[in-house]
A and B are shown apart, each in its own frame.
Chain A
Amino acid sequence: MNLRNSIIRLQSKFYFWLIIEQSHISLHFQLLHLGKDWPAGFDIFRSRLHNAFLKNKDVKDPEKIKQLIGHGQYIVKEIEALYMLKKYRTLKRRYYQ
């Protein structure tokens, strides 16, 4: 019984890390995808993104990791909004002024 409990505990811990790992990787890919449209070029974006992830490579605390992933998702939304606004403004300037 005791063994079974500890196996379950181990499993849930494993799944927890798996989920964190997955959301971390998908965040990285999402940001890379957004970087393809970056005005100053993809290469600059990629190296900066790499540095941003590297800066937190030693973070082990699960709560802190969750918080950082949340921040990354916030950045994704910000970049999307930035692109949309840039496109809207360009079109407005070209066709309505």
Chain B
Amino acid sequence: MVRVLVGVKRVIDYAVKIRVKPDKMGVVTDGVKHSMNPFDEIAVEEAVRMKEKKVASEIIAVSCGPPQSQEVIRTALAMGVDKGIHVEVSGSEYETLQPIHVSKILAKIAQKENVDLIIVGKQAIDDDSNQTAQMTAAVLNWPQATFASKVEKGDKELTVTREVDGGLETIKCKIPAVISADLRLNEPRYATLPNIMKAKKKPITKMTPQDLGVDISPRIKILSVEDPPVRQAGVILPDVDSLVTKLKEGGHIP
């Protein structure tokens, strides 16, 4: 039986149209619907399935962020996680919080809680960093199995199928280890209303990065945030001749 730690991030909901703030220093987050990072949902689901298969004994969900991050911890608890830890980072500190800081926090909690396995989503859909799993493994000096699409636990080791360019790779690694979940790992369950109600009784511990001895002073400075380029409008041409002339003009055909 292993103890599992899952990382969950609160991000702007995948269905929301992102708008850049007028001062170009970030995106509009006020009054915008937030939810759990979809890849983290997959990570939570994998941990819960491990518990259902009696592979995992206890699951702990961690989220770093403003007080509202507790909502995603609640969602994780409703999906079947046993307890939550909320590491409070808010305001300007949260804007410059980077995977390096989060990985140090996760590593500290993993040591404190004696966990054997860390499962996180491969990346968050807001900053798309794809660094937290790798850095956490490095900080702890644990093996890493990233982009997992299948995880099987043996006696003392894990067999993980990884999504790599143009195919799959199967690796074996010892426990303790860090896993990052890819899209095809599983289909996460929906946090139903009765389960959300029941999850209100589960405990959430609150702490700060200072309690864990992690320095979260900024490593980066945001210079500018821009919208992606807009696709140019096309034109409809009346006949083949004008199409050929147009293509010649553009230098696409000789």
Contact = CB atoms under 8 A, between A and B. Distances in A.
B132 to A, nearest CB: 16
A17 B191 CA distance: 28
| Interface majority SS (helix, strand, loop, mixed), chain B | loop
Interface in B113-142: 125
Contacts, number: 32
B193 A33 contact: yes
Size category of the A interface is 10 to 19
Interface in A39-86: 39, 76, 80, 83-84, 86
B190 A84 contact: yes
Contacts of A30: 192-194
A95 B183 contact: yes
Nearest to A76: B192
Contacts of A39: 15
B187 interface: yes
Nearest to B122: A95
Interface string B11-33: 00011000000000000000000
B14 A90 contact: yes
A87 B196 CA distance: 20
Interface string A21-39: 0000010011001000001
B194 A91 contact: no
A57 B38 CA distance: 39
A16 interface: no
26 contacts: A26-B194, A29-B193, A30-B192, A30-B194, A33-B192, A33-B193, A33-B196, A39-B15, A76-B192, A80-B190, A80-B192, A83-B190, A84-B187, A84-B188, A84-B190, A86-B15, A87-B38, A88-B183, A88-B187, A91-B38, A91-B125, A91-B183, A92-B183, A94-B125, A95-B183, A96-B183
Which of B125, B192, B193 has the most CB atoms of chain A within a 10 A radius of its CB? B193
Interface of B: 14-15, 38, 125, 183, 187-188, 190, 192-194, 196
Contacts of A26: 193-194
Contacts of B192: 30, 33, 76, 80
A91 B14 contact: yes
B43 to A, nearest CB: 14
| Interface majority SS (helix, strand, loop, mixed), chain A | helix
A35 B187 CA distance: 21
Contacts of A92: 183
B182 to A, nearest CB: 9
A84 B183 CA distance: 12
A23 to B, nearest CB: 11
A88 B187 CA distance: 8
* List of 4 A-B pairs having minimum Cβ-Cβ separation, nearest first: A80-B190, A33-B193, A30-B193, A91-B38
A16 B38 CA distance: 41
A7 B38 CA distance: 54
Contacts of B38: 87, 91
Nearest to B39: A91
Contacts of B190: 80, 83-84
Contacts of A76: 192
A92 B14 CA distance: 12
A29 B15 CA distance: 23
